[in-house]
Amino acid sequence: MSAILWFCGVATAVAAPTADGTLMIGKPSEPDTLDPHVAQSNNSLTITCKTYETLVKFAVVNGHATADVVPGLAQSWAVDPSGEVWDFTLAPGHRFSDGRPVDAAAVKFSFDRLMRIAKGPNEDFPAIGAVEALDQRTVRFRLTYPFAPFLQSLANCGGDVVDPAVMAFAVNDDFAQGYLATHSLGSGPYQIVHVEKGAEIVLEPNPYFPGPPPRIRRVVIKIIAEASVRRLELEKGDLDLIEEVSPDQIDVLRKKPDIVVIDEPCFREDLLFINSQRPPFDNVLVRQALSFAIDYQGIVDFVLLGKAKQMRGFIPEGFAGYDEAAPQFHYDPKKAQALLAQAGLRHLTIGFLYAKADPTWQTVGLIVQQNLADIGVKLELHEYSYTTMRDMIDRGDFDIAIGNYAPDFNDPSQYLNYWVDSRLFGLAGNRAFYKNPEVDAMIRRALSEKDPAARQTLYQRAQRIAVEAAPYILLSQKHYEAAMRSNVHGFVFNPLLLQVFNFEDMWKSPSPN
């Protein structure tokens, strides 16, 4: 009898830490690559943000992540008066998962690699001219112009530092892209230990990461495409945390005692692009009429089930440069009709370009169709595959198209310098093909303006002009939604890092079941 008890005791003692130290995550799709210098989507960030580190990182204040930056791999930095030379001093003690120290040469190697590969994440660093390792712990960035948001941009995951030793795995000048697609060699708190393609990715702590070892000893990210199955496994306790929970499921899960939902306002926005170069949309009155015709609150209430709010200006609330006095269009069909009459237009028929990439886009299209019918405009819904839709937007082959947007780092340039710069027509940023030389001049000057107040004024003025001109119909600032078991603790939401979880600070208490 005592032997059995002893055995049970041992079994429990051995089993408990394993069970509580493993975090099971359900992800809807497999990240294309886990190479931080290639990966584009937040889906990859779940892994790369935990396996690599950046020179600076987003601050967490009172359990809430903010968009301000604090030291990361760099303990301090200095910029010369021209704003073009930045010196960073690296903090001691950071080591890659192979034990090698993170030094200035590694930082130089990483940025050189990012620029040489040039597959997208490099776009957030348009001004980097050269990177030099001055000594083992000092690295210098020479910019081609005083790019004001430089420091902010370094917190973005494209600035991840990779161990130069990875070049041992390079094949045919690929800078080890093939290897890093499924492996990691960074200094973050975790490292990839196993990738089962199409099925799961397993992380375990980087033994050389400074500080106390994380309590989550193993993170298993399972790829489960079907939303209802993810939910089933969460409710059953086989998963601890699931991503991409639809607004209707969030409300059901919220009522379950052993589930906690994450339902936070974030910077992701839904908007419509009006092709401002194509008649009759080159007439500002027509664009404004369309903007007054939309039932914004109806879309928020019926499509997003209240988990969003109407945008005010391009820049979302809580983001650097948000302007609470920015102009905002409201639902006013009469005014819309009057504006159309003023523009001399009758019996207008326009196309609405969308794809099934976002399940809500079609419903939004139907509401917009009804709204426009009320002012005598016929809207035809044109559904294409997402790739075709993107191509059509890039070529300006549409009347109105729907899309969404999320920024990479906390700076107004992430909105203004993309959305309204006439040099970036198409997918590159200005999807409404809006052109105003005055606005162009202001936003370009703001990009290298060193005085924060002057910079803010420039952006504010540019934004007000552009919003009034209505090249975009600004629908809603959305929520980020996920759900986890109630015995998972310590998660800190960061609106800039969607789909990123701070595994290193999280822990699990014994399951209530």
Are the C-beta atoms of 442 and 462 separated by less than 8 Å? yes
Query: Minimum Å distance from CB 38 to other proteins?
Result: 7
Q: For other proteins, which is the closer residue by CB, 59 or 392?
A: 392
Instruction: Give the chain's radius of gyration (CA, Å).
Output: 25
Q: What distance in Å separates the CA atoms of residue 184 and residue 466, rounded to the nearest whole number?
A: 43
How is residue 260 written in tokens?
A: 């906690």
Q: For other proteins, which is the closer residue by CB, 29 or 370?
A: 29
Sign of CA dihedral 94, 95, 100, 106: negative
Query: Minimum Å distance from CB 368 to other proteins?
Result: 23
Q: For other proteins, which is the closer residue by CB, 130 or 225?
A: 225
Q: What distance in Å separates the CA atoms of residue 316 and residue 321, rounded to the nearest whole number?
A: 9
Strand-pairing partners, residue 24, are 220
Q: For other proteins, which is the closer residue by CB, 19 or 168?
A: 19
Query: Minimum Å distance from CB 372 to other proteins?
Result: 26
Helix (H) / strand (E) containing 480 = strand 472-485
> What residues have CB less than 8 Å from 218, skipping those under 6 apart?
21, 22, 23, 202, 203, 204
Query: Minimum Å distance from CB 304 to other proteins?
Result: 22
Q: For other proteins, which is the closer residue by CB, 334 or 395?
A: 395
Q: For other proteins, which is the closer residue by CB, 43 or 276?
A: 43
Q: Kindly provide the b/e burial profile for residues 290-302, where b requires at least 16 CB atoms within 10 angstroms of the residue's own CB.
A: bbbbbbbeebbee
DSSP assignment of 196-252 equals: ETTTEEEEEE-TT-SSSPPS--EEEEEE---HHHHHHHHHHTS-SEEE---HHHHHH
Q: What distance in Å separates the CA atoms of residue 498 and residue 480, rounded to the nearest whole number?
A: 7
Q: For other proteins, which is the closer residue by CB, 82 or 228?
A: 228
Q: For other proteins, which is the closer residue by CB, 83 or 426?
A: 426
Q: For other proteins, which is the closer residue by CB, 313 or 407?
A: 407
Sign of CA dihedral 463, 466, 468, 473: negative
For other proteins, the binding residues (CB under 8 A) are 24, 29-30, 32-33, 35, 38, 40-41, 118-124, 174, 177-178, 181-182, 196-200, 220, 222-226, 228-229, 232-233, 235-236, 238, 385-388, 390-392, 394, 405, 408, 418, 424, 427-429
Q: For other proteins, which is the closer residue by CB, 424 or 492?
A: 424
* Distances from the Cα of 495 to the Cα of 211, 268, 319, 479, 501, angstroms: 26, 9, 9, 9, 11
* Distances from the Cα of 324 to the Cα of 273, 354, 383, angstroms: 22, 30, 35
Query: Minimum Å distance from CB 171 to other proteins?
Result: 10
Q: For other proteins, which is the closer residue by CB, 41 or 76?
A: 41
Are the C-beta atoms of 267 and 406 separated by less than 8 Å? yes
Query: Minimum Å distance from CB 207 to other proteins?
Result: 21
Q: What distance in Å separates the CA atoms of residue 470 and residue 432, rounded to the nearest whole number?
A: 9
Query: Minimum Å distance from CB 388 to other proteins?
Result: 5
Q: What distance in Å separates the CA atoms of residue 426 and residue 438, rounded to the nearest whole number?
A: 20
CB-count burial class (<10 Å; 0-12, 13-18, 19+) for 68? middle
Of 220, 379, 223, 215, the C-alpha closest to 294 is 379
Query: Minimum Å distance from CB 375 to other proteins?
Result: 32
Query: Minimum Å distance from CB 289 to other proteins?
Result: 29
Q: What distance in Å separates the CA atoms of residue 131 and residue 129, rounded to the nearest whole number?
A: 7
Q: For other proteins, which is the closer residue by CB, 22 or 457?
A: 22
Query: Minimum Å distance from CB 228 to other proteins?
Result: 6
Query: Minimum Å distance from CB 123 to other proteins?
Result: 4
The residue count of the chain comes to 513
Of 473, 486, 511, 113, the C-alpha closest to 329 is 473
Query: Minimum Å distance from CB 504 to other proteins?
Result: 22
